[in-house]
Amino acid sequence: MNPVERRAEIKRRAAALGFDAVGIAALERNAHAAELDRWLAAGYAGEMRYLHRQADKRKDPRRIMPEAKVAVVTLMSYFHRWVDPGAMPRGRVAQYAWTTDYHEVLGRRLKALGAAIREVVPGAATRTYVDAGPVPERELAQRAGLGWIAKNTMLIHPRLGSFTFIGVVLTDAALAPDLPFDADRCGTCRRCLDACPTAAFPEPHVLDARRCISYLTIEHRGEFSPDQAAMVGEWVFGCDVCQDVCPWNVKFAQASADPEFTPRAELVAPDLVALLEMDEDTFTRGYGDTPFERPGYAGMRRNATAVLQHVAPA
Ligand code: B12
Ligand code: SF4
Ligand code: SF4
């Protein structure tokens, strides 16, 4: 097989493994390295110190795996549409966390894709990444032709929308790269920027994570200041507002039919009062295999307290 035929075969196998889209990016210096430097210098990463430590690799992904030539980039939709959580007090949870932790599901499928690449190209080396790791995932997805980086900073695929997980396999296999997705289909729209409840976008394409509810409820360690608690509003884990209002999700995206991404009721609308009353063992039994494990018992109780204060102030 030549590099173009190998690319077609790998895409066929990726589809059979349940990936919704796949593309190949040549590994080059990140075209937006300067934006990353500016973003870090402005302090927008907050307490996510690892983003400073990983900056050199994010700016030049060839440094992650020196022998790698291309990134095989996958998208997997987890879109479910908004579900009314019913009687309050229940907090809202970002859709990506309505199911078993995606790192586990996607990690397993990416390993299978790595094995498929090694079958198609015997002797090839592969390394798989999802979320964790110094990989500029949105940048690589755009370069692999999978969509554009939108004003809300999300990677939007024209058919799937932005409720997608990105996965990456770096490899030294000789595969023909796809063309980058060069169009910007946001146009004059700015719904996401105007809808953000905490004004977290100082300008289009730039997110001040310190003001983002997703950062506050998932990444922030320790207690909330009164201002931070007020910003969280009704969101007990993550936030989807800047995606919920996007026409590319509202009009075009289809709900995922993937059985491994079937929503679990206790994640879609957790009972906040029960969350505050449960002990740590009960929390671990109920939520140990879910994204709630990242903020953990203490973090989720902190979030629940802030939401209850918002929806039913004492
Ligand atoms: C740190 C992080 C966060 C932080 C910061 C987010 C941010 N916007 O930077 C916080 C905790 C806030 C966060 C929140 C969320 N995250 Co997050 N997060 C990451 C992580 C680990 C690194 C992102 C990063 O490097 N940020 C720093 C900024 C500067 O880099 P960047 O976003 O990649 O931006 C690049 C481009 O935008 C480009 N660029 C800059 N300016 C410009 C201008 C133009 C015109 C263009 C074209 C490009 C461009 O340069 C940047 C540097 O390369 C990635 C996984 C990964 N390894 O990449 C997941 C990831 C980005 N997150 C993801 C998700 C799902 C979310 C949430 C939706 C979760 C939720 N519902 O609560 C929210 C969305 C909030 C939002 N609007 O971004 C997905 C996004 C999938 C997608 N389709 O885009 C990723 C890819 C994880 C994954 N594997 O699926 N996240
Ligand atoms: S995830 Fe929520 S808080 Fe964060 S930028 Fe989007 S709308 Fe704003
Ligand atoms: S809401 Fe509008 S500006 Fe924001 S990401 Fe979607 S299309 Fe782009």
Per-residue three-class SS string for 34-50: HHHHHHHHCCCCCCCHH
Q: Residue whose CA is closest, atom 1 of ligand 2?
A: 239
In b/e form, how buried is each residue of 59-77, taking b as 16+ CB within 10 angstroms?
Answer: bebeebbeebbbbbbbbbb
Total Cβ atoms within 10 A of residue 204: 13
Q: Residue whose CA is closest, atom 7 of ligand 3?
A: 186
Residues with CB under 6 A from ligand 1: 30, 32, 35-36, 39, 48, 51, 94, 96, 130-131, 135-139, 149, 152-155, 162, 164-166, 205, 207, 209, 212, 214-215, 218-219, 238-240, 242
pLDDT given at position 17: 97
Closest to 74 measured CA to CA, from 133, 121, 13: 13
- 75 vs 106: CA distance, rounded Å: 10
- Asked whether the whole model's pTM tops 0.85, one would answer yes
Measured in Å, residue 149 CA sits from the centre of ligand 1 at 9
Q: Residue whose CA is closest, atom 16 of ligand 1?
A: 214
pLDDT given at position 189: 98
Tokens of 58: 């994010």
Q: pLDDT tens digits for the chain (314 residues)?
A: 999 999 999 999 999 999 999 999 999 999 999 999 999 999 999 999 999 999 999 999 999 999 999 999 999 999 997 665 555 457 899 999 999 899 999 999 999 999 999 999 999 999 999 999 999 999 999 999 999 999 999 999 999 999 999 999 999 999 999 999 999 999 999 999 999 999 999 999 999 999 999 999 999 999 999 999 999 999 999 999 999 999 999 998 989 999 999 999 889 989 999 999 999 999 999 999 999 999 999 999 999 999 999 887 66
Measured in Å, residue 278 CA sits from the centre of ligand 1 at 33
213 lines ligand 2 (CB under 6 A): yes
Residues with CB under 6 A from ligand 3: 150-152, 186, 189-192, 245-248
pLDDT given at position 88: 45
> What are the residue numbers of the active site?
131
Ligand whose nearest atom lies closest to the CA of 78: 1
What one-letter code names the amino acid at 4?
Answer: V
- For the four alpha carbons of 248, 254, 255 and 259, in that order, the dihedral sign comes to negative
Give the position, in ligand 1's atom list, of the atom nearest the Cα of 96.
71
Give the position, in ligand 2's atom list, of the atom nearest the Cα of 195.
7
Measured in Å, residue 158 CA sits from the centre of ligand 2 at 21
- 314 vs 302: CA distance, rounded Å: 16
193 lines ligand 2 (CB under 6 A): no
- 220 vs 51: CA distance, rounded Å: 14
**Residue of 148, 152, 188 best suited for mutating to test ligand 3, as the one with most atoms within 8 Å of CB:** 152
Pairing of strands 148-149, 155-156: antiparallel
Burial environment of residue 234 by CB neighbours within 10 A (0 to 12, 13 to 18, 19 or more): middle
Task: Give bridge partners of residue 90 from the DSSP assignment.
Answer: 271
Sheet containing strand 70-77, edge to edge, reads 21-26, 70-77, 164-171, 126-129
User: How far apart, in Å, are the Cα atoms of 298 and each of 10, 263, 283, 294?
Assistant: 43, 24, 10, 10
